[in-house]
């Protein structure tokens, strides 16, 4: 009862590419769109027809695009009537956002989980979605978790929740009556950056997140890489500093030991002889307190080395930094950049490092982006 009404006409991959281009770059003239996609006017008209029929595409006022010559009617997506919910699910909470078709945040809500029992979590997620919907139709729901997801539906493994083989999508669809897509959180974030963020217009780039853990996502030739191993945390134990601290698995100076909030907090606390939180550790470092500054600078150098390693091996020249721990950038950006460039060949393509510091909201919008990508051309707009 909360889904959009009506079903869209059958839309093929070519029309999907056209819809995506308008979503990412609109309002856009037909001539610019044709050049971007390599389509003739006749092909453009044919492929756009089902998108107009579904209500997804609209013509907008020619005053939006200025120029010389005959006025045109640029194409854009119709934002009205299509609303999505994205939820980032952690081991103890759920943060949700209501967005439009371009992942612009309309509202947000938060739930502290009562526990990790599947039925209880599903009940709280449904409540969160209904609060965000506020009685209006929702086109689709996206949920991301820090773990391994199969087929955009089943949480195969989620260590923070102690879940294995949970069909979360079906459980949520049963109570909400809308399509539900489930994905690894870093894959979702990469999707959001690809369509709506720093990666828009860039065919290949990497996303690197730091916070409770270390996450790594990759977009190659305009495709988000998602495999059965996505969500296993394979970027968590890359050796970065031979003199660094030990991680929980006994690895010295690995990415988990050098970059996670918990490790940085513990190192500063041990040095000061009192407990400090992550934000305080960063504030002390920014103020020049030696005990904190040395730890945070070492973490910055380690992050720069990891950025260069990813760029070198994946052969990308754009890396997006994000995650709840990215406040590190504001304190030691110079160390991060210097270390990244120091491990990069002098003749390599210049490295672009972009920072998304929107925090938890970015994770939830990534979940919404997953839902948008999967349902963009499958559902008509509710009138």
pLDDT in tens, 22-32: 888 878 888 88
pLDDT grade for 4, boundaries at 50, 70 and 90: very low
**Mean pLDDT score of the chain, rounded to an integer?**
88
Is the Cβ–Cβ distance between 256 and 306 less than 8 Å? no
Token pair, residue 280, equals 């305080």
Opening angle at CA 168, ends 3 and 105, nearest 5: 50
Architecture of domain 84-190+362-375 in this structure: 2-Layer Sandwich (3.30)
Q: pLDDT tens across 144-202, in order?
A: 999 999 999 999 999 999 999 999 999 999 989 999 999 999 999 998 888 888 888 78
The pTM of this model reads: 0.83
Reply yes or no on whether the pLDDT at 123 is more than 90: yes
Handedness of CA 15, 18, 23, 24 (dihedral sign): positive
- Tell me the CB-side half-sphere exposure of residue 49, using CA atoms within 13 A: 7
Look at residues 266, 247, 194 and name the one whose alpha carbon lies nearest to residue 223: 194
Opening angle at CA 145, ends 140 and 150, nearest 5: 80
Which pLDDT does position 62 carry in this prediction? 63
Q: Mean pLDDT across the stretch 93-103?
A: 94
Is the Cβ–Cβ distance between 191 and 202 less than 8 Å? no
Count Cβ neighbours within 10 Å for each residue of 283-307 and write b for 16 or more, e otherwise.
Answer: ebbeeebebbbebbbbbbbbbbbbb
pLDDT grade for 376, boundaries at 50, 70 and 90: confident
301 compared with 41, residue with greater pLDDT:
301
Q: Mean pLDDT across the stretch 42-64?
A: 82
Q: Range with the lowest mean pLDDT among 94-103, 336-345, 354-363?
A: 354-363
pLDDT grade for 8, boundaries at 50, 70 and 90: very low
Non-local (6+) Cβ contacts of 368 within 8 A are 84, 85, 86, 97, 99, 103, 142, 192
* Residue 185: other Cβ atoms inside 10 A: 30
**CATH class of domain segment(s) 201-355:** alpha beta
Any idea where the domains of the chain sit in the sequence?
13-77, 84-190+362-375, 201-355
129 compared with 227, residue with greater pLDDT:
129
Please state, in angstroms and rounded to a whole number, the distance separating the CA atoms of residues 55 and 13.
18
Please state, in angstroms and rounded to a whole number, the distance separating the CA atoms of residues 330 and 237.
24
Please state, in angstroms and rounded to a whole number, the distance separating the CA atoms of residues 152 and 139.
17
> Is there a common fold for 13-77 and 84-190+362-375?
no
Reply yes or no on whether the pLDDT at 208 is more than 90: yes
Which pLDDT does position 60 carry in this prediction? 86
Share of the chain above pLDDT 70, in %: 92
The β-bridge relationship of strands 84-89 and 140-145 is parallel
Is the Cβ–Cβ distance between 54 and 334 less than 8 Å? no
pLDDT grade for 12, boundaries at 50, 70 and 90: low
Look at residues 264, 326, 252, 273 and name the one whose alpha carbon lies nearest to residue 296: 264
Which pLDDT does position 67 carry in this prediction? 52
Which pLDDT does position 68 carry in this prediction? 54
Reply yes or no on whether the pLDDT at 113 is more than 80: yes
Non-local (6+) Cβ contacts of 12 within 8 A are none
**CATH class of domain segment(s) 13-77:** mainly alpha
Reply yes or no on whether the pLDDT at 229 is more than 80: no
């Amino acid at each position: 009862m909360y889904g959009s009404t009506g079903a869209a006409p059958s839309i093929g991959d070519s029309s999907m590419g056209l819809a995506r281009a308008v979503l990412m770059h609109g309002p856009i003239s037909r001539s610019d769109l044709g050049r971007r996609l390599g389509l003739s006017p006749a092909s453009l008209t044919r492929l756009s027809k089902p998108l107009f029929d579904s209500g997804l595409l609209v013509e907008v006022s020619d005053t939006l695009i200025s120029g010389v010559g005959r006025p045109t009617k640029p194409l854009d997506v119709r934002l009205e009537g299509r609303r999505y919910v994205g939820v980032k699910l952690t081991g103890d909470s759920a943060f949700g956002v209501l967005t439009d078709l371009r992942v612009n945040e309309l509202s947000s809500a938060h739930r502290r989980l009562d526990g990790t029992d599947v039925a209880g979590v599903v009940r709280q997620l449904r409540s969160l979605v209904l609060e965000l919907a506020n009685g209006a139709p929702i086109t689709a729901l996206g949920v991301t978790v820090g773990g391994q997801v199969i087929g955009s539906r089943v949480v195969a493994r989620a260590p923070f929740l102690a879940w294995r083989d949970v069909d979360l999508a079906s459980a949520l669809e049963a109570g909400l009556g809308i399509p539900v897509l489930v994905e690894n959180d870093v894959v979702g974030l990469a999707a959001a950056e690809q369509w709506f963020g720093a990666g828009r217009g860039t065919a290949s780039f990497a996303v690197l997140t730091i916070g409770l853990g270390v996450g790594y996502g990759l977009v190659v030739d305009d495709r988000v890489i998602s495999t059965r191993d996505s969500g296993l945390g394979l970027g968590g134990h890359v050796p970065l500093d031979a003199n660094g601290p030990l991680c929980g698995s006994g690895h010295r100076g690995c990415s988990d030991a050098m970059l996670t909030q918990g490790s940085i907090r513990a190192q500063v606390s041990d040095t000061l002889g009192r407990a400090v939180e992550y934000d305080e550790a960063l504030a002390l470092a920014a103020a020049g307190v030696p005990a904190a500054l040395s730890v945070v600078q070492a973490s910055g150098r380690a992050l720069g080395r990891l950025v260069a390693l990813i760029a070198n091996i994946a052969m990308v020249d754009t890396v997006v930094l994000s995650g709840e721990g990215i406040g590190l950038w504001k304190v030691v950006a110079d160390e991060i950049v210097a270390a990244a460039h120091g491990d990069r060949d002098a003749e390599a393509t210049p490295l672009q490092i972009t920072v998304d510091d929107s925090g938890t909201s970015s994770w939830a919008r990534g979940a919404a982006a997953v839902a948008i990508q999967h349902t963009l051309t499958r559902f008509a707009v509710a009138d």
